[in-house]
Amino acid sequence: MESWKNKLLSNAGKEVLLKAIAMALPMYAMSCFKLPGKLCKDVSAMMARYWWGEEEGKKKLHWCSWSKLTKHKDKGGMGFKDLQDFNKALLGKQIWRLITCPNLLLSKVMKARWNRPLIFSTFNGKDAEEILKIPISLAGRTDCSYWIASNNGKYTMKSAYKMLEREEKAQQQESSGKGETSCHVQKEKVWRKMWGMDIKGKLKHFLWKCLNKALPVNELIYYRTRMGEPICQVCGEGEETIEHLMFFCTIAKELWRLAPVQWDGIEDRRGNFNTWWSELMEASSKREGQQHQALTVNILWQLWKARNEKIFNNKSRNPFDIVQKAHLEWIEYTEVQGTGKLASRQETSASNEEAPDDTTNSNTMTIVVEVSQQKETKTMGISIVATKDNKVHATWAMKDRSTGDTLLDYAAALKLALCKISQKHWPAVHLLVSSAQMVRMLRNNKTTDVRLFAQLEDIHMFKALFMNCSFSLVANQCNRLGRRISKYATSLAQDEEYLSPLCQMTQL
């Protein structure tokens, strides 16, 4: 790291270098051994020194702690890894291999050393209720290991690291006696919007420094080191704070008067840069607001560069030239980005035209599934309505035990529906689902709930029995019959099935 040329890279470049190289180098060792805490701190200190820079062998001022930089970007950090948590997450992958791959030589050797007593006990009423909620696989699958911190049940270093972060945050909140407030949620929203802006990486890092009071203006340098003077060297009319530099300096006042973008209604917020920026972010919901916001960042950046030229090179730039330079760079960037996005859209459009249409056809049977829950009796009513060409071909009304969880009950209903209609030998079916969340899980086959994962696996097993089986969201007004049948089913003593012409069921 000492041989890397610090001065030749922007903060965005140093971020990429540290994450892609410095964080990758110790990965092999950390995936096999637990490194000493002091070694992790020494490596972190080396990366911190490189991040903040050195000059003539002397390290520059570190404006934020390394623990601050290891926070996620949504939390105001830079997204660097905490090496000790990173080490734990990598070692966890070895434990996962021992559990999921019992035939490995390493697994056999290690398990022969472990103490695994078998526990036999009698279940009480509460435990029995929980056991009854466990979904039973219709495919007869055996038990398996499931990592609850990921969407697909597989262990990943990323999911383990995030889990360790959440646990550490919960411990800090518990020790301080403070929970997460709406203010914290709002700050995370501001950080997400900032990092998601369509601007250059170096401008995002510049903003990050401004919002974290890490921009080396005279006032911050003086109160951190007691060196120099806090007075603004451009106008000499006050302390050079971030707010003074950006809004109240003589050159800044003239610059904003000439700027092509104005932010009416938030002038009184300029006394605090973070508050002013938060108010400005609220105007980014529309496309025009986002463009004006990006141009504003370019103006702030050019104002900072003009300040540095004055202090270090004694060169003055007039406000009009600063605005013109910011506007020109913003236009050049948007033109380059616009060309790339247009080509991407054209490629996507072409690929969509080539993709086959997987919509329903005249031979497809439409299946509507609905569930009604009875919390008092812990039961649920299931309705299955099969239609084709606007005619009802079959309906089922079934009663089953409710888990108390809406998604789990709906997954169980879909599994039973597929089991029933598979006996009719319909080649193509299209299931209309009333839960948008369930539709997303069916299409992505991802969930963090191990019980839902087992249900989804069974659903996809039944899906393979049909030539074509698809899922989509049903409109509420199209499912009145299904809701009436599902409510009726909660009072049934046994399941009922009706075939055409369905006179009795359609009267419900």
Give the relative orientation of helices 287-313 and 250-258 as an angle to the nearest 10 degrees.
150
Lowest-pLDDT range of 117-121, 252-256, 356-360: 117-121
Higher pLDDT, 251 or 501: 251
Of 316, 350, 384, the residue that ends a domain is 350
Q: What is the pLDDT of residue 288?
A: 67
Higher pLDDT, 120 or 178: 178
Residue 131 included in any domain = no
Q: Is the pLDDT of residue 301 over 90?
A: yes
Regarding whether 245 and 371 lie in a shared domain, the answer is no
User: Mean of the pLDDT values across residues 438-467?
Assistant: 82
Higher pLDDT, 380 or 185: 380
Alpha-carbon torsion, ordered 110, 111, 115, 118, to 10 deg: 170
Residue 356 included in any domain = no
Question: What does the alpha-carbon distance between residue 48 and residue 14 come to, in Å, rounded to a whole number?
Answer: 11
Q: Is the pLDDT of residue 209 over 70?
A: yes
**Number of domains making up the chain:** 3
- Model confidence at 214, pLDDT cuts 50, 70, 90, reads very high
Higher pLDDT, 227 or 350: 227
Q: What is the pLDDT of residue 86?
A: 92
Regarding whether 324 and 386 lie in a shared domain, the answer is no
Q: Is the pLDDT of residue 296 over 90?
A: yes
Regarding whether 194 and 159 lie in a shared domain, the answer is no
Q: Is the pLDDT of residue 347 over 60?
A: no
Regarding whether 433 and 322 lie in a shared domain, the answer is no
Higher pLDDT, 400 or 451: 400
Regarding whether 213 and 304 lie in a shared domain, the answer is yes
- Model confidence at 499, pLDDT cuts 50, 70, 90, reads low
User: Mean of the pLDDT values across residues 20-48?
Assistant: 90
Tens of pLDDT, residue by residue over 264-284, are 788 889 999 999 999 888 865
Query: Is-above-0.75 flag for pTM?
Result: no
Regarding whether 201 and 169 lie in a shared domain, the answer is no
**Secondary structure (DSSP) of 274-314:** HHHHHHHHGGGSSHHHHHHHHHHHHHHHHHHHHHHHHHHH-
Q: Is the pLDDT of residue 11 over 60?
A: yes
Q: For the chain, what is the mean pLDDT?
A: 81
Residue 502 included in any domain = yes
Tens of pLDDT, residue by residue over 58-87, are 778 888 898 899 998 988 899 999 999 999
User: Mean of the pLDDT values across residues 162-189?
Assistant: 78
Regarding whether 398 and 298 lie in a shared domain, the answer is no
Residue 227 included in any domain = yes
Residue 136 included in any domain = no
Three-class SS of 140-200 = CCCCCCCCCCCCCCCCCHHHHHHHHHHHHHHHHHHHHCCCCCHHHHHHHHHHHHHHCCCCC
Regarding whether 369 and 346 lie in a shared domain, the answer is no
The domain of 151 spans 1-116+147-177
Higher pLDDT, 315 or 143: 315
- The CATH number assigned to the domain holding 462 equals 3.30.420.10
Tens of pLDDT, residue by residue over 389-413, are 888 888 888 888 888 888 888 888 8
Q: What is the pLDDT of residue 352?
A: 41
Q: What is the pLDDT of residue 501?
A: 45
Regarding whether 431 and 309 lie in a shared domain, the answer is no
Residue 130 included in any domain = no
Residue 135 included in any domain = no
Regarding whether 327 and 435 lie in a shared domain, the answer is no
Residue 129 included in any domain = no
Of 317, 350, 383, the residue that ends a domain is 350
Hey, which of 205-219, 343-357, 493-507 has the most confident mean pLDDT?
A: 205-219
Regarding whether 430 and 339 lie in a shared domain, the answer is no
**Secondary structure (DSSP) of 37-64:** HHHHHHHHHHHHHHHH-EETTEEPP--S
Regarding whether 482 and 384 lie in a shared domain, the answer is yes
- In Å, how far are 311, 374, 420 from 497, measured between CA atoms? 85, 21, 10
Alpha-carbon torsion, ordered 346, 348, 349, 355, to 10 deg: 150
Of 158, 177, 196, the residue that ends a domain is 177
Q: Is the pLDDT of residue 219 over 90?
A: yes
